[in-house]
Amino acid sequence: MNDVQAVRALAALAQPARLHVFKLLVVAGRKGVTPSQLSVALDIPASSLSFHLKELMSADLVTQERDGRHLICRAQLGHMNDLLRFLTANCCEGEPCLDAQSIACTTC
């Protein structure tokens, strides 16, 4: 991860609706969620949700995959973990105080 990628990801998450979408997708894990399920769960109109998903996909935080007639949205957990590692790489004055595994989502 570099500065440009980190800024793009953080900018995408710096909006309440997109943050809620991303958090819901993190909870869903590998199973993912359809846009219609997201729309209902978060009470976001489909047209607005489409815009927010596009922004999250542009920042590499979300993927969409077609499953028959449905789209399945999933959080890019690897990219999220890269962002967390990037943000904490030089904490504690460079001392190794955080284990990389302790900040990574590994249960999904």
Q: Where are the domains of the chain?
A: 3-88
> Considering the domain 3-88 in this protein, what is its CATH number?
1.10.10.10
CA dihedral 22, 81, 12, 73 (to 10 degrees): -40
Instruction: Give per-residue pLDDT as tens, 24-64.
Output: 999 999 999 999 999 999 999 999 999 999 999 999 999 99
Instruction: Indicate the burial class of 88 (C-beta count within 10 angstroms; 0-12, 13-18, 19 or more).
Output: middle
| Portion of the chain with pLDDT greater than 90, in percent | 76
- What is each CA distance from 57 to 15, 50, 79, 103, in whole angstroms? 14, 10, 11, 22
* pTM, rounded to two decimals: 0.85
